[in-house]
Amino acid sequence: MSTSSFTTRRDFIKGSAAATGALVIGFTLPMTSRFSQAAAAATPGAGFAPNAFLRIAPNGQVTVVCGLSEMGQGVHMGIASLVAEELDADWKSVQLEQAPVDKAYNNPLFGMQATGGSTAIRGHYEPMRKAGAAAREMLVAAAATQWGVDAAACRTQDGRVLGPDGKSAGYGDLVAAASKLPVPQNPTLKDPKDFRILGKGLTRIDTPAKVNGSAGFGIDVKLPGLLTAVMVHAPVPGAKIVSVDDAAAKAIPGVKQVVQIPQGVAVLADGYWTALKGRDALVVKWDDGPLGSLSSEGISKLLTDATTRPGAVARNDGDVTVAVAKTVEAVYEAPYLAHACMEPMNCTAWVRAGEAEVWAPTQGPGPHLGIVAQLTGLPPEKVQVHTTYLGGGFGRRFAPDFVIASTLISKAAGVPVKLVYTREDDMRAWFYRPASVTRFTAGLDAAGNPVSLTARVASPALSIAAGFAKELPKGIDDTAIEGIGDMLYAFPNLRVEYARTEPGIPPWFWRSVGHSQNVYFIEAFIDELAAAAGRDPVEFRRALLSKQPRLRGVLDLAAQKSGWGSPLPKGMHRGVAITTCFGSFVAQVAEVSMAADGKPRVQRIVAAVDCGLTVNPDVIQRQVEGAVVYGLSAAMYGKITFKNGRVEQSNFTDYPMLRMDEMPRVEVHIVPSTEAPGGIGEPGLPAATPAVVNAIFAATGKRIRTLPI
């Protein structure tokens, strides 16, 4: 089944897009002069734009240009603060501009203009500081020349150059002279102990627009002559249209056009409501294709069976066949999950003669621009992608489906089109965190010390589904085993195997990716081993982490802050879990009570985080809080299931998430560090679920080996 489903996946995007070759995720623009042209146009005369990331106007206004997508993670503020710090800007004079697509804005960790993988600060910490520092050196040089003094005698503060004898000039007054100077390639960066902006809590620059309704999300795009499109989407991946009866739809007043594209049929109208009524009046018959009989029971069996056979060897330390005194075995399973961003998928496209423009809440404006170019046959320089605010991303908005469909609809209809997914369309759009099954076998010696561990992981290969790889090196998909294959626990004998298993449902990136299920698996199983050994869960982990000071450091901090080992109020129970991912280290202790109906109630999460140097403590706190809620929503309620090839869930009624009255207290403790910054959008997620299920074990003696709870 794996081969055919692989083909199906490729067809789903490639075929429906009528695009060529592999999914063009890796696309980047050739080096163009578009930015320099844009910068020149934006800063006529005396403006100063030493590089792609920064402009200073004659009035002193600093504009930081950010190629990353703001989806709630605070990246606009983060990028602006990196530039402003080294520029010694007056923070109040800094504004943020969303960049166009240009190679200059490629994410250094991806090689394309895209946001995800908790890479924003990790990838831009040095480049953005250098951008600010280069400008600062030029402004200082301009002032020193003007004053006839040595540049070394000048310093900068809050948007001004300060010289000897009380000399002072605002940056705005220096931009004309500075812009004539060469741009330093290796400017001197500050010692972090001299930071004045980084490391402090700053009010986010996107907050005011987000409390008065003025923030522009993709769904808010307005254009003259814009029509709204609502689609009938394929009910099953790979399904093909057999027939379309659009007579009833076309009879609805206000319906302007009905457009068929490979992905489905779109009804176009002046607004969403009429387009929806038209869509609901369409009669579309489909040939389900080979996946029409797919069921969740079948998928579960396929994955579980795969763990009974040897897989590709991802790691083999020592010899797991050594004799042991006690064997512990368990099988864990996680379901498919939807992202359920609050803003349903949407995209506005306007394909005109010789050019195309797209406005999208997208995590991948770079690759998506390449896709639009391919779909329209236009050269990339004739395509523009405007990135709006994103009403949530979580990996979902890296997928191109909404860009592809809106582009094809606009191309066919000849008008600007805003395609809006209904919530049900969004929930059933076939981009899911994959289901996964892992079988663990571990051995303890007579004293209860862990001796060996074998983990056999069965799940689809995301790297292939996403177009990142055509085949798996040595049969291993890194995202499928991350969190297990790279574990830091020092088992003397450790073997990790991967059984690529493709039930046919396209897997996609979901906040923290493979860690989202694998850390649950391994941390719940480690708890089982601790119990089998008769050891305390924190002590059992510490003993396996003697050479991992950062991971053990967060474990110790979370234990200390949560009062691990101290008595709890009656009815409260603790569980612990740890993770290392995206360059950061996180430990969480969950406090859980059990309601009379047996339902667990998460009361408190104590998180300890070591994400290297703190760029913004408030952002770290909020991202960890948010990741905990995202993880717990999945743990408590999240599952996408299939019957006859169709998704059974539809809306927030049957795909619930945590609500205000279920929200635990979340405490976030940050380890002071001078290490390079790690990621923070995702690392707060993986440990929340195992901490909770381990607390449920403490409460009930029952192991939770499948989700949702």
Q: Give contact residues for other proteins (rule: CB under 8 A).
A: 71-74, 203-204, 206-215, 217, 219-220, 222, 228, 253-254, 270-274, 340-344, 389-394, 420, 422-423, 618, 622, 625-630, 651-653, 657-661, 663, 665-666
Residue 98 pairs in a beta bridge with 66
The enclosing H or E element of 501 equals none
Q: Give min distance, CB of 457 to other proteins, in A.
A: 28
Q: Give min distance, CB of 393 to other proteins, in A.
A: 8
Strands 326-334 and 436-444: antiparallel
DSSP for residue 312: E
Q: Give min distance, CB of 220 to other proteins, in A.
A: 4
Q: Give min distance, CB of 251 to other proteins, in A.
A: 14
Instruction: Please say whether the beta carbons of 29 and 62 come within 8 A.
Output: no
The enclosing H or E element of 670 equals strand 665-670
Strands 227-233 and 264-269: antiparallel
Nearer to other proteins, 33 or 207 (CB): 207
Nearer to other proteins, 177 or 340 (CB): 340
Nearer to other proteins, 383 or 420 (CB): 420
Nearer to other proteins, 643 or 665 (CB): 665
Place of tokens 């860009």: 403
Residues 6+ apart with CB under 8 A from 450: 442, 443, 444, 489, 491, 529, 533, 540, 544
Nearer to other proteins, 71 or 408 (CB): 71
For the chain, first and last CA: distance in Å?
30
Angstrom distances, CA of residue 157 to CA of 49, 136, 195, 663: 20, 10, 12, 43
Q: Give min distance, CB of 663 to other proteins, in A.
A: 4
Residues 6+ apart with CB under 8 A from 140: 151, 154, 156, 161
Nearer to other proteins, 76 or 573 (CB): 76
Q: Give min distance, CB of 256 to other proteins, in A.
A: 13
Nearer to other proteins, 184 or 199 (CB): 199
Q: Give min distance, CB of 372 to other proteins, in A.
A: 24
H-state helical runs in 63-161: 75-87, 120-147
Gap between the Cα atoms of 540 and 491, Å rounded? 12
Q: Give min distance, CB of 673 to other proteins, in A.
A: 23
Secondary structure (DSSP) of 536-588: -HHHHHHHTTTT-HHHHHHHHHHHHHHTTTS---TTEEEEEEEEEETTEEEEE
Nearer to other proteins, 13 or 94 (CB): 94
Instruction: Please say whether the beta carbons of 638 and 427 come within 8 A.
Output: no
Q: Give min distance, CB of 707 to other proteins, in A.
A: 18
Residue 601 pairs in a beta bridge with 593
Q: Give min distance, CB of 381 to other proteins, in A.
A: 31
Q: Give min distance, CB of 343 to other proteins, in A.
A: 5
**Count of residues in the chain:** 709
Nearest in space to 104 (alpha carbons), one of 140, 178, 58, 50 = 50
Nearer to other proteins, 95 or 203 (CB): 203
Gap between the Cα atoms of 211 and 546, Å rounded? 47
Nearer to other proteins, 204 or 705 (CB): 204
Nearer to other proteins, 40 or 209 (CB): 209
Q: Give min distance, CB of 217 to other proteins, in A.
A: 6
Gap between the Cα atoms of 708 and 636, Å rounded? 5
Nearest in space to 332 (alpha carbons), one of 582, 84, 486, 526 = 526
Q: Give min distance, CB of 668 to other proteins, in A.
A: 11
Nearer to other proteins, 450 or 683 (CB): 683
H-state helical runs in 346-429: 365-376, 401-413, 423-427
Gap between the Cα atoms of 406 and 408, Å rounded? 5
Nearer to other proteins, 269 or 405 (CB): 269
Instruction: Please say whether the beta carbons of 590 and 605 come within 8 A.
Output: yes
Nearer to other proteins, 501 or 614 (CB): 614
Angstrom distances, CA of residue 635 to CA of 345, 601, 685, 694: 24, 12, 11, 12
Q: Give min distance, CB of 203 to other proteins, in A.
A: 6
Strands 436-444 and 450-459: antiparallel
Q: Give min distance, CB of 206 to other proteins, in A.
A: 7
**What's the per-residue H, E or C state across 627-690?**
HHHHHHHHHHHCCECEECCEECCCCCCCCCCCCHHHCCEEEEEECCCCCCCCCCCCCCCCCHHH
The first and second tokens of residue 110, run together, are 């991806």
Q: Give min distance, CB of 159 to other proteins, in A.
A: 23
Nearer to other proteins, 74 or 365 (CB): 74
Nearer to other proteins, 394 or 564 (CB): 394
Does the N-terminal peptide bond of residue 416 adopt cis geometry, omega within 30 degrees of 0?
Answer: no
Nearer to other proteins, 370 or 391 (CB): 391
Q: Give min distance, CB of 229 to other proteins, in A.
A: 13
- Computed over its alpha carbons, how large is the radius of gyration of the chain? 27
Secondary structure (DSSP) of 590-636: EEEEE-TTS-EEEEEEEEEEE-SS-S-HHHHHHHHHHHHHHHHHHHH
Nearest in space to 262 (alpha carbons), one of 283, 227, 286, 281 = 286
Instruction: Please say whether the beta carbons of 29 and 380 come within 8 A.
Output: yes
Other beta carbons within 10 angstroms of residue 447's beta carbon come to: 8
